[in-house]
Amino acid sequence: MRKGWILVMMIVCSGLLFASGILTAADFPSEIVIDGKGYKKDIKGPVNFNHAKHAGEYEAQCEDCHHNYVDGKNIWQTGDDVQKCSECHDVDKSDGNKKKLMLAFHDNCQKCHEKKIKEGKKAPDKKCETCHK
């Protein structure tokens, strides 16, 4: 009887931990403005990034954008702290494998869009004004 009770408690605790992870993952801003603050010159203007649409309708996984590389592997997982990209990516220069901020944004976004287009899905092309307003 005691073993059965322990099993029930383990299942309940696992369920609570799983549910709290889902609630944490769902708690994100619906839109993010990627602006040129910090740049010497903001040439193209800000990007209004619809976070909710990418995570929902476009089925982007959190790990597609959010990362924490250790030994070349992204160890970031849903529920981990999210840092602003500028906390690691320098505005002015790349450092080894760590690209400067603008290149990091462009590389990540464009590669994802190219992948979606190859899969036959709709995604913006490389025209600057498609994303920059």
Mean residue pLDDT across the chain: 83
Please tell me the pTM assigned to this model.
0.71
The domain spans of the chain are 1-29, 31-131
pLDDT of residue 40: 84
Please give the structure tokens belonging to residue 121.
């899905």
Q: Which residues contact 66 (CB under 8 A, 6 or more apart)?
A: 76, 80, 82
For 63-91, the pLDDT digits (tens) are 999 999 999 899 999 889 999 899 999 99
Position 100 confidence tier, pLDDT thresholds 50, 70, 90 = very high
Query: Is the pLDDT at 20 greater than 80, yes or no?
Result: no
- 131, with CB counted inside 10 A (0-12, 13-18, 19+), is buried
pLDDT of residue 24: 44
Q: What gap in Å lies between CA 125 and CA 112, rounded to an integer?
A: 11
- CATH fit for domain 31-131, picks 3.40.50.720, 3.40.50.850, 3.90.10.10, 3.30.2290.10: 3.90.10.10
pLDDT of residue 21: 43
pLDDT of residue 119: 92
Using CA atoms, how far residue 112 sits from 1, 2, 4, 13, 18, in Å, is 53, 51, 47, 37, 28
Query: Is the pLDDT at 7 greater than 60, yes or no?
Result: no
